[in-house]
């Protein structure tokens, strides 16, 4: 076959390349403008533009090489087809690049391999919270493809070939010159977002293959396992303890976005007056770090001192055997609860809690009446309930719960889109702080564009104050310990350095404290569970933990600045690139010295850098081994672990056959179908499959309970349905199922009791009233039954079932 590819076609390809370069530059100018108008920038705009433009050109040059074979082959078929195919590819590339830039501007992070750690549902929720789905935000996605096409037309018709070659030649020489003379041009901070995205995913996959489970075939030990006696009890010297109680109540407040800079005497302090007032009355670690840059990492780190896995511990499909504050304290008589105004399914939190056998989970799905949700955005998004409502719900829920208690709380108000009650009031309070000399003029310049966020922070602080002050009126306050920390530093306010994202306060406040202290020594969320368990074991009648598998030996209570820990940090779900080693901080190839005030500065020491990198790589191998081979804590020793559903090979084959390509909601519909056909065993199998991934899928649990009732296994049915009622006390379907069950069991008194509980919870489902009337009928209380039917028929006068039943009461 004769090759028909001319110089003219080559230049058409170069025209496409130049048009993409220019569009990338336009996107970069948009990004630079946004950065300069919203952040404090130390380098000149010209340096910014030069760095961005060269990185854009490098990305397009690589794309040009990779895509050329596609253009060449399609152009052989049709000259026009080759141009059209490449133009379509470049339009898609442009849209992806702009999306990545928008993400970076919103989160102050580059999107990379961390996208692999999120479900579609989590991505949608995160995107919706930033308001990124507004109509105005979609305009650039329509304009940029048009700009790309127009540019290609103009270049083709008005640029000479010599001009094209000269333009590309100058850029190539600039690229080579920058690479040789200015290597910092290609640092991560300046990289093209698309380049980083692809590079990071490739790096992640390569790193993942190097720590593949096959590489540990000859290893079968538990490297984290050690006697609990090795964990020193460092908290007892600060507490008055009492043998008269089984153990103190523990309240853990994980405050969304609470960075260390905003508390105490740090740079942006003044917006958390109540927390600041607690510091002199507490144990306070001012140089404390979260082990992750997002909320997904706080639960396993703080509650169980666990490694990360590939994308975060909670993201693993089957969690390795481990122990936690939840499982161990529950085994010692504690009532364990989790409270949040948001979704417990987000980031698979509910899976982690289920695995640890938590007693109660209160999230946005079971607040009930009398609580006001956070105001929705213009797109209809709301995270759930604001902090003030959350604390009200907690205080209302505590009465009647058996003591001692472990209460775990995650707040959500200090998060995009920063919607919270009485916003105008807190904005005025922010203005009043700006009018004082507490904040320097330089700090005001940085903070003023973020008044809404600071107002949110003040609301969060105010809600904490109301909660703790109300808690003080409770009789159990005198033996309660409050642990207050941030999940990570809030995102939108510019960060002074890469360590800043992890810097959070750590406060232990309690009426049981006999002395207070401030600590400059560095500790992390990994250190909380080991120290807390050691303290409880040494002072209260708990079952002794013979062996533990914590990632840390506990909190450092030395007042002076130092670091005795090795702390790998997972900024996002895309891998571990940050590390605190001695008094150094490593981040993506760069090494920084940590100063006593927790600021950092760049250092150049190749030998030290190698030592740090080798140490981090050793951790990565350990992390991969213990999580992939289930070698954290032996199953045989784990008396605290809740048994999980294990599917046989035959069951897995059945599940795959019936659910291939189906969502979980579609799978539930299949489960209903086979249940109605009388195949209860398969229906329960599919329900268990759904629940293994979505433990709070109430409908699957209800269907499972009903199948037991249909088999006349009433005892098991009642256990299942009462479990659902505990989880979702404001869902009418569970009440209907229980009333049906007690009807079949001829326990009409229980039917009436369940119906009355539904009424108490403000559930006005007419079917509940109807079934209650039938229960009264069977008990020969026709007066009550008639009264109920009269009230139903006032609302539904045309319902023939209700009319017929009412008539039967008169016969």
Mean pLDDT value across the chain? 89
**For range 709-722, the mean pLDDT:** 95
Task: Provide the 3-class DSSP secondary structure of residue 588.
Answer: coil
Q: Would you call 357 helix, strand, or coil by DSSP?
A: coil
pLDDT reading at 233 higher than 90: yes
What Rg, from alpha-carbon coordinates, does the chain have? Answer: 30
Q: Give me the mean pLDDT over the 142-147 stretch.
A: 90
Residue 141 has pLDDT above 60, yes or no: yes
pLDDT at position 123 is 65
Whether the upstream peptide bond of residue 417 has omega within 30° of 0, thus cis, is yes
CA-based torsion, 764, 770, 775, 777: positive or negative: positive
Calpha distance 244→238 (Å, rounded): 19
Q: What is the share, in percent, of the chain residues with pLDDT greater than 70?
A: 94
Asked whether the beta carbons of 305 and 539 are under 8 A apart, the reply is no
CB 115 within 8 A of CB 101: no
If you search the block for the tokens 């179908």, which residue do you land on? Answer: 673
Q: Which residue has the tokens 């003379």?
A: 181
Tell me the range of 114-128, 218-232, 552-566 where mean pLDDT is highest: 552-566
**Residue 397 — very low, low, confident or very high, per pLDDT cuts 50/70/90?**
very high
Q: CB 75: neighbour CB atoms within 10 A?
A: 22
Count Cβ atoms below 10 Å from residue 54 Cβ, excluding itself: 21
Query: What is the residue-wise DSSP string for 698-739?
Result: HHHHHHHHHHHHHTT-HHHHHHHHHHHHHH-TT-HHHHHHHH
Question: Under a CB-based contact definition with an 8 Å cutoff, are residues 738 and 720 in contact?
Answer: no
Give the confidence band of 1 by pLDDT, cuts at 50, 70, 90.
very low
Local structure of 370: helix, strand or coil: coil
Classify residue 440 by burial, with Cβ atoms within 10 Å: 0-12, 13-18, 19+: exposed
Segment (H or E) for 60 = helix 45-77
DSSP for 374-417, written as a single string: PPP-TTS---SS-HHHHHHHHHHHHTTPPSSEEEEEE--SSSTT
Q: What is the mean pLDDT of residues 686-713?
A: 93
Q: Give the contacts of 724 (CB within 8 A, at least 6 positions apart).
A: 698, 701, 702, 705, 731, 734, 737
pLDDT class for 4, splitting at 50, 70, 90? low
Give which of 114, 115, 116, 110 is closest to 191, Cα–Cα: 110
Q: Record the tokens describing residue 9, joined without a space.
A: 């076609």
Contact 700, 690 (CB under 8 A): yes
Q: How many residues does the chain have?
A: 811
Percent of the chain with pLDDT over 90: 60
With the C-alpha atoms ordered 256, 262, 267, 268, is the resulting torsion angle positive or negative? Answer: positive
Q: Look at residue 797 in the predicted model and tell me its pLDDT.
A: 85
- At 497 the three-state DSSP class reads coil
Whether the per-residue pLDDT at 185 is higher than 90: the answer is: no
Under 8 Å between Cβ of 373 and 444:
no
Position 603 scores a pLDDT of 95
Q: Can you tell me the mean pLDDT for 777-795?
A: 86
Q: Does the pLDDT at position 759 exceed 80?
A: yes
Alpha helices in 78-160 (DSSP H): 79-107, 120-129, 135-158
In 3D space, the residue among 577, 575, 584 whose CA is nearest the CA of residue 611 turns out to be: 584
Beta bridge partners of 227: 547
Q: What is the mean pLDDT of residues 25-42?
A: 80
Catalogue the long-range contacts made by 241-246 (C-beta closer than 8 Å, 24 or more residues apart). 241/512, 241/539, 241/540, 242/479, 243/540, 243/541, 245/403, 245/404, 245/479, 245/540, 246/332, 246/333, 246/403, 246/404, 246/540, 246/541
At residue 508, does pLDDT exceed 90? yes
The token duo for 801 is 């079932």
Res. 134 pLDDT band, cuts 50 70 90: low
The structure tokens listed for 467 are: 């909660």
- Rounded to whole angstroms, the Cα distance separating 485 from 254 reads 5
Is residue 38 over pLDDT 80?
A: no
Give the confidence band of 802 by pLDDT, cuts at 50, 70, 90. confident
CA pair distance 178, 47, nearest whole angstrom: 12
Count the Cβ atoms, other than its own, within 10 Å of residue 387: 28
Please report, for residues 371, 655, 719, the alpha-carbon distance to residue 709 in angstroms, rounded to integers and kept in the order given. Answer: 35, 23, 11
- Other Cβ atoms closer than 10 A to 148: 23
Residue 244 in this model has a pLDDT that exceeds 70? no
Distance CA(765)–CA(319), nearest Å, equals 39
Of 570, 552, 637, 547, residue with least CA distance to 306: 552
Q: pLDDT band for 121, please (50, 70, 90 cuts).
A: low
For 602-655, the pLDDT digits (tens) are 999 999 999 999 999 999 999 999 999 999 999 988 888 776 778 999 999 999
pLDDT of residue 175: 80
Distance between CA 417 and CA 382 in Å, rounded?
Answer: 8
Evaluate if residue 806 carries a pLDDT over 70.
yes
What is the reported pLDDT for 431?
92
**What's the confidence (pLDDT) of residue 125?**
64
Out of 239-253, 304-318, 781-795, give the one with best mean pLDDT: 304-318
């Amino acid at each position: 076959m004769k090759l028909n590819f001319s110089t003219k076609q080559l230049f058409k390809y170069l025209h496409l390349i130049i048009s993409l370069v220019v569009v990338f530059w336009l996107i970069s100018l948009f990004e630079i403008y946004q950065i300069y108008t919203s952040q404090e920038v130390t380098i000149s705009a010209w340096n910014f533009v030069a760095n961005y433009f060269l990185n854009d050109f490098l990305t397009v040059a690589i794309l040009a090489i990779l895509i050329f074979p596609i253009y060449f082959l399609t152009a052989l078929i049709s000259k026009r087809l080759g141009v059209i195919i490449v133009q379509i590819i470049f339009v898609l590339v442009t849209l992806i690049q702009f999306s990545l830039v928008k993400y970076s501007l919103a989160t102050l992070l580059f999107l990379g391999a961390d996208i692999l750690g999120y479900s579609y549902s989590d991505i949608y929720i995160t995107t919706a919270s930033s308001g990124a789905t507004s109509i105005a935000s979609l305009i650039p996605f329509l304009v940029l493809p048009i700009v790309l096409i127009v540019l290609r037309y103009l270049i083709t018709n008005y640029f000479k070939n010599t001009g094209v070659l000269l333009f590309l030649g100058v850029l190539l020489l600039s690229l080579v010159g920058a690479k040789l003379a200015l290597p910092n041009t290609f640092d991560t901070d300046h990289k093209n977002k698309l380049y980083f995205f692809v590079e990071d995913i490739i790096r992640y996959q390569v790193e993942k293959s190097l720590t593949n489970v096959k590489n540990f075939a000859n290893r079968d030990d538990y490297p984290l396992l050690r006697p609990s006696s090795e964990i020193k009890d460092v908290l007892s010297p600060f507490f008055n303890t009492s043998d008269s109680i089984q153990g103190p109540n523990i309240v853990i407040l994980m405050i969304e976005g609470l960075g260390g800079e905003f508390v105490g005497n740090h740079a942006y302090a003044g917006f958390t007056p109540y927390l600041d007032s607690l510091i002199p009355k507490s144990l306070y670690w001012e140089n404390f770090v979260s082990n992750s840059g997002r909320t997904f990492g706080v639960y396993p780190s703080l509650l169980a001192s666990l490694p990360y896995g590939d994308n975060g511990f909670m993201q693993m499909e089957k969690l390795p055997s481990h122990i936690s504050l939840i499982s161990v304290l529950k085994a010692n008589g504690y009532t364990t609860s989790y409270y949040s105004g948001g979704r417990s399914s987000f980031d698979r939190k509910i899976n982690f809690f289920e695995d640890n056998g938590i007693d109660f989970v209160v999230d946005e799905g079971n607040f009930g009446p009398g609580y006001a949700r956070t105001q929705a955005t213009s797109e209809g998004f709301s995270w759930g309930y604001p902090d003030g409502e959350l604390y009200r719900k907690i205080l209302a829920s505590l009465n009647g719960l058996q003591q001692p208690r472990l209460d775990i709380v995650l707040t959500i108000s200090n998060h995009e889109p920063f919607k919270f009650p009485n916003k105008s009031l807190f904005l005025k309070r922010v203005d009043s702080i700006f009018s004082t000399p507490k904040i320097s003029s330089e700090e005001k310049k940085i903070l003023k564009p973020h008044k809404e966020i600071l107002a949110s922070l003040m609301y969060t602080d105010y809600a904490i104050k109301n909660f703790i002050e109300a808690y003080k009126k409770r009789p159990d306050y005198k033996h309660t310990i409050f642990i207050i920390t941030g999940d990570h530093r809030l995102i939108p306010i510019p960060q002074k350095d890469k360590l800043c994202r992890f810097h959070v306060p750590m406060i232990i406040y309690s009426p049981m404290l006999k002395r207070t202290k401030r600590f400059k020594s560095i500790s992390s969320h990994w250190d909380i569970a080991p120290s807390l368990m050691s303290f409880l074991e040494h002072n209260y009648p708990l079952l002794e933990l013979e062996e533990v598998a914590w990632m840390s030996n506990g909190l450092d209570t030395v007042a002076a600045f130092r670091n005795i820990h090795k702390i790998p940090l997972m900024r996002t779900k895309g891998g571990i690139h940050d590390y605190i080693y001695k008094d150094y901080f490593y981040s993506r190839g760069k090494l920084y010295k940590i100063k006593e005030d927790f600021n950092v500065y760049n250092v150049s020491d190749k030998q030290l850098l190698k030592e740090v990198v080798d140490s981090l790589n050793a951790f990565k191998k350990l992390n991969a081994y213990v999580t992939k081979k289930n070698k954290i804590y032996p199953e045989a020793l784990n008396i605290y672990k809740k048994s999980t559903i294990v599917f046989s090979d035959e069951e897995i084959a059945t599940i795959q056959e019936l659910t291939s390509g189906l969502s979980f909601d579609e799978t539930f519909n299949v489960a209903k179908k086979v249940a109605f056909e009388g195949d209860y065993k398969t229906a329960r199998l599919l329900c268990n499959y759904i629940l293994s991934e979505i433990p709070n899928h109430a409908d699957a649990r209800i269907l499972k309970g009903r199948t037991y009732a249909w088999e006349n296994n009433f005892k098991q049915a009642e256990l299942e349905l009462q479990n659902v009622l505990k989880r979702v006390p404001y869902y009418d379907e569970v009440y209907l199922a229980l009333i049906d069950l007690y009807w079949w069991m001829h326990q009409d008194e229980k039917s009436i009791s369940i119906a009355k509980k539904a009424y108490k919870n403000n559930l006005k489902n007419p079917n509940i009233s109807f079934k209650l009337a039938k229960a009264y009928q069977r008990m020969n209380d026709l007066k009550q039954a008639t009264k109920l039917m009269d009230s139903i028929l006032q609302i539904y006068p045309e319902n023939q079932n209700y009319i017929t039943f009412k008539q039967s009461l008169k016969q």
